[in-house]
Amino acid sequence: MAKTPASAYSAQQQQELLKYMLMAREFDNAMLRLYRQGKAFGGVYSQLGNEAVSVGSAYALDRFKDVLFPMHRNIGGHFVFGQSLDQLMLNHLARKGSQMRGTDGTGHYADPSLRIYGNVSHLGAMIPVAAGFSLADKLRGITTVSLTYIGDGGAQVGEVHEALNFAAVHKLPLILIIENNQYAYSTPNSLEFACENLSDRAIGYGMHGVTIDGTDVELVYATCVEAVERARRGEGPTLIETRTMRMRGHAEHDDFSYVPKELLAEWSEKDPVETYITLLDKRGVMSREEATVLRKQILADMIAAIDRALEQPWPDAEEGMKSVFMSEQVEG
């Protein structure tokens, strides 16, 4: 698709896109530091290099009508949908008041009040859930666009294909973004699939599909706006492949030494945050100096949220037994 001209976006929209990407970037940087300090609870899954995907896609939704099913690398979408720094830090530091009651801190929390639902550990299983949400509302006569994500590796599992086929047959208002990060853990694309583009599969499902540059936040936004409009017209789901690079390991325990250094260097030149700062400076929408001030304020807010979370006590021990089910063994 052709990129929407910059004149189509207001200065406020452009500034908000940058703000949310900066929030996602600084959140990841903060979590990396907390992980090294032994304060983060569970794994830390960075979205460095993917900020444009999570922000641009979520920004295309109506957060009061639609629903977001983010994965563990989509913190930017949480911010777009209004999630607070305080709540996210309570979750990731497993303190009292966390949405998982301190039993998990790696993204498996939901906030129905903000229309955020996520994520299932068996990542491919999230797509049937998102499709089911849209189906349930469709049966009520309501058009609710569900947006969810999967990685290039996760896109190979059975639940993804089953859900996309089902969504296409029933023309559900579902958008699936395949975040092609080049590697599924340590497995490169060349050992994952044989098709040229993952979006090529869309024609087999009977749905619209497109592959785009996932480092361009405005392109991601414009592509998702088209998908939302298509869904609202009753034309069914859309499969969007975004090409990016995972600039850290699968999680912070992984040193990603299997990734060629020259490949990382190539993608670092396409950094979605830095390239957008340069673009807005060139357009006169926000100077680089103004962007630096914004970044410093976001970082200060991040540090304050961390401090507030660390001041909170650990959850009560009884919380760990809630929603745990055991079958009693009966001796014969």
The model's pLDDT over 192-237, given as tens digits with 9 standing for 90+, comes to 999 999 999 999 999 999 999 999 999 999 999 999 999 999 999 9
Quick check: is 326 in a domain? Answer: no
The CA distances from residue 285 to 71, 205, 278, 281, 295, in Å, are 31, 41, 10, 6, 16
Summarize the confidence of residues 310-326 as an average pLDDT. Answer: 83
In a domain, 329, yes or no: no
pLDDT digits (tens, 9 = 90+) for 254-306: 999 999 999 999 999 999 999 999 999 999 999 999 999 999 999 999 999 99
SS3 207: coil
pLDDT tens column, 75-120: 999 999 999 999 999 999 999 998 888 887 777 888 999 999 978 8
Contacts for 177 with CB less than 8 Å, ≥ 6 apart = 53, 57, 147, 148, 149, 150, 224, 240, 241, 242
Among 54-68, 114-128, 171-185, 281-295, which is the least confidently predicted range?
A: 114-128
Is residue 59 a contact partner of residue 70, using CB atoms and an 8 Å limit?
Answer: no
- pTM of the predicted protein model: 0.93
What would the mean pLDDT of 185-198 be, rounded to a whole number? 92
Answer yes or no: are the C-beta atoms of 69 and 129 closer than 8 Å: yes
- The residue among 221, 230, 178 whose CA lies nearest residue 201 is 178
From residue 106, give the alpha-carbon distance in Å to each of 46, 138, 210, 239: 11, 31, 30, 26
Distance CA(107)–CA(121), nearest Å, equals 9
Share of the chain above pLDDT 70, in %: 95
Inside any domain, residue 331: no
CATH number where 75 lies: 3.40.50.970
Q: Are strands 183-184 and 187-188 parallel, antiparallel or unpaired?
A: antiparallel
CB contact at 8 A, 100 and 88: no
Determine, yes or no, domain membership for 176: yes
Domain that holds residue 138: 6-321
Highest mean pLDDT range out of 45-49, 149-153, 287-291?
A: 287-291
Is the pLDDT confidence value at 13 over 60? yes
Radius of gyration of the chain (CA): 20
- 74 within domain boundaries: yes
Per-position DSSP letters for 233-301, written without gaps between them: TT---EEEEEE----S-SSTT---TTS-HHHHHHHHTT-HHHHHHHHHHHHTSS-HHHHHHHHHHHHHH
The residue-averaged pLDDT of 239-248 equals: 94
117 within 8 A of 69, measured Cβ to Cβ: yes
The structural domain count of the chain equals: 1
Q: Reduce the DSSP state of residue 319 to 3 states and report it.
A: helix
